[in-house]
Amino acid sequence: MTLRNIFLSLLFVSSYAWGQVRYIDYPSPFHPTIGNSGMVVSQNQASSNIGVEILNMGGNAIDAAVAVGFSLAITLPRAGNLGGGGFMLVYLNDEKKTIAVDFRSAAPKNLSKKDFLYLKNNYDQRRYGYKASGVPGTVAGLLQTHDRYGKLPLKKILQPVIRQAQNGIVVSYDLNQAIGSANQISLNSESKNIYYKNGSPVEEHFLMKRPDLAWTFSEIARNGEEAFYTGSIAKKMIQAMQENSGYITAKDLQEYEPRFAEPIKTTYRNHQIFAHPPPAGGAAVLLEGLNILENFSTDEIGPNSARFLHLFAEALQRGHMDRSRFMGDPQFYDVPINKIISKERANSLAKTINLEEATPPNTLNPDSLFQEGENTTHYSIIDQNGNVVSNTYTLGYSFGSGVTIPGTGILLDNQMNNFAYQYGNPEVIDRSASIGNRLEPGKRPMSTMTPVIIFDENNELKLITGSPGGALIPAAVLRVITGIIDFNLNLGEATMLPRIHKDWPYKNLRLEKGFSQDTIQILESYGHELEESKTMGSTQSILISTKGKEGFADLRRPNAGVAIQID
């Protein structure tokens, strides 16, 4: 071979290798899905696809949110629901307006002192079975929001969901395992008939058709909210309640109304953070945590550094302290929310943080507020016109109370377990004794659900996010927000940062796997009592960046997915 040929061969190999390196050298191992039009991110890919189908019909984000909310009752029955409730934020781009929708489940109104004592003294009865369920708000919340802000007829929106219920879904490994871990399902004959075959949870790959839910969806498509709260579905629900000594009455269903209000908000490093007002206690933890963190510079530390994680944990602990004592239904208790999320409160609490020493919970006094001068699901949607829905809703436990109303496919929540039954007990200081969350007829229990919408320093939409996870929700959402704002990570990187959780008045700092041993040793040297945790939450997020709309479905739970409109 001539010298010239050798040179050309080397040049070709070198160019080929360089081309290959450039092709595979992505800036991050976590890749958001990027689009320029509508986008849906939910905990199930099939439900996300239905949301985009609605957008492709000409629907807006609110129309898609209704379809996704109903679809998740099929694809994610342990959390997606018609028999539960939640909190939703809606952003209307033309009006530059954000609305909070409270469709939280409510305690039945006919509860007596005898009923209260029964629930207080019978832990299992307020977790499982007919007595465990509050009045469901999901259908009223979604449909009344659609009536106000949707575009397409309800019948058109629900057609793909009805078809999905009729055709069925293929049971995933996750669904099979979830059914097997929810013992309350086996205690209810209707639920057992649906989710068990031959005495065992339906097997992976089994085609599970849901004619019961298809009937329910069809009734709602024809008669709207009336079908669920006074019509054919309500009649089945009340009959089942009466036959099984449940508390929900026809009057409870008839009188249930979602609440439309202004969100609560704060600023964080020149960004506006919008969240849901009480009884959404998780929102208060998030906003108070951000206000506390704003007192500290993060410019020269990393998101996984011991110093930042320590500050993060200390801020969380103080936010949970105020949530644990002073959060509840504002129609029953004067929640001091403006004081809790004020910059003054945050500044005061920030001064109590030692940069190298964990704060013992018993040294924090929740009453200083007045001395100063895990199964849920979330989805995020944006349409091509910039309208947004950030929605978190729940059954409470995985599969809720375990009760399915015969003939409807509707799983009921177990929200009666979420009230503070130890209120008045001087020996109890945690949230089971909360003055704001004691059980009262008609009241809505405090919740950590935290749907969020964020705008940048130019008041342009930046981030839509939220998570399931019970008390872990504020930490999961806070981790994503700080990853993006403080550390300029992409959405995938911010989502996949290993998470921590610090509650109050508990000592342990819970950590996901993924932190270095050096970091763990430093946190221990600060006095943190560490506990290894399973994964925390499952954020479903959309980020507006210079690349377009970035969607990322948290990898912590399987089957989640991003669906986009193709221009």
Q: pLDDT tens for residues 217-264?
A: 999 999 999 999 999 999 999 999 999 999 999 999 999 999 999 999
Sheet strands (E) in 447-507: 452-455, 461-465, 500-502
Closest by CA to 77, choosing from 368, 397, 296, 349, is 397
Tell me the CB-side half-sphere exposure of residue 523, using CA atoms within 13 A. Answer: 26
- Segment 416-431 shows an average pLDDT of 86
Tell me the pLDDT tens digit for each residue of 535-556: 999 999 999 999 999 999 999 9
Find the DSSP H helices in 281-376.
281-293, 306-326, 337-340, 343-350
**Is 1 exposed, middle or buried (CB count within 10 Å of its CB: 0-12, 13-18, 19+)?**
exposed
Quote the CA–CA distance of 405 and 521 in Å, as a whole number. Answer: 51
Tell me the pLDDT tens digit for each residue of 479-528: 999 999 999 999 999 999 999 999 998 889 999 999 999 999 999 999 99
Token pair listed for 471: 């008390």
CA dihedral 341, 344, 348, 354 (to 10 degrees): 70
Domains and CATH numbers, the chain: 48-83+105-256+387-431 (no CATH), 261-376+447-564 (3.60.20.40)
Are 554 and 538 in contact, with CB atoms under 8 Å apart? yes
* Res 403: pLDDT: 97
Quote the CA–CA distance of 124 and 118 in Å, as a whole number. Answer: 11
- Characterize the bridge pairing of strands 540-545 and 461-465: antiparallel
Q: What's the Rg (C-alpha) of the chain?
A: 24
Catalytic residues: 376
Quote the CA–CA distance of 549 and 564 in Å, as a whole number. Answer: 9
Closest by CA to 412, choosing from 421, 422, 400, is 400
